[in-house]
Structure 1
Amino acid sequence: MGHWVSRYYTDPNYSPDHTQPSKFEPGFGFQGERKEREMIATEEEMSSAKLHPRDRDYCAHKLIAFNACKRKEWPLAYKCAHEKHELMNCQYEDYMIRMREYERERRLLQRQKRLDEKERRLAAEELAA
């Protein structure tokens, strides 16, 4: 927990804030169009499955299938190993996507910091001359 906390507090203007939307356009730095992520499970499906708000993410459809399988196969829940495996893979992929987005934001902010410093340096040289 240490290094990213100190980096955020020592340089908050150039550190990503995961609670806020990105400061950069989604396609910035990419060739062509980026595919936007879409929710597969609808709000009605998640409500009828009584999913907790923390579970209403991009893997909700896998969680709904896993919970349905557990209800169907109970007490032999081990028969739902395939659904559990799919859910865990989906959660892992979601985590990796979020970490890549965080790292992209961090690198773009560091790039912005370098550009701002260069601009300030050039402005200071012009004033000195």
Structure 2
Amino acid sequence: MAELNMEEELKPLDTNELKYDQRGLIPAVIQDVRTNAVLMLGYMNEESIKRTLREGKVCFWSRSRQEYWVKGETSGNYFEVHEMYADCDADTLLIKIIPLGPGVACHTGRYSCFFNTLAGSKQQEIQND
């Protein structure tokens, strides 16, 4: 088994090196830097990434409304960018954030959008015991 090296050198990328889908979008996983909880998944294009880097708050591209939206503009639940990473294929982003405001990521009022467990998953089995 290969030895795990968590101290590997980070490779800086420009936004034009990222691999966007046919619509010019890239998925962005949002993670709370304090708890490591995954809060949500959004989509970004090159311009929303540039806005995020420039302003320090996460800006997405809304696929349904076809417009830019800064997370927290209407709710007050802003995401302050702490770190941004691209995966090994440069086709997915991981954005580590510090939640500002009430600390709610989901439009349902929950801390994270990931609160539904799938039937048959380990967590579901534990809850049903």
TM-score by length of 1: 0.22
Q: Return the structure number with greater helix share.
A: 1
* Relative contact order higher in (CA < 8 Å, ≥ 6 apart): 1
TM-score by length of 2: 0.22
Q: Return the structure number with greater strand share.
A: 2
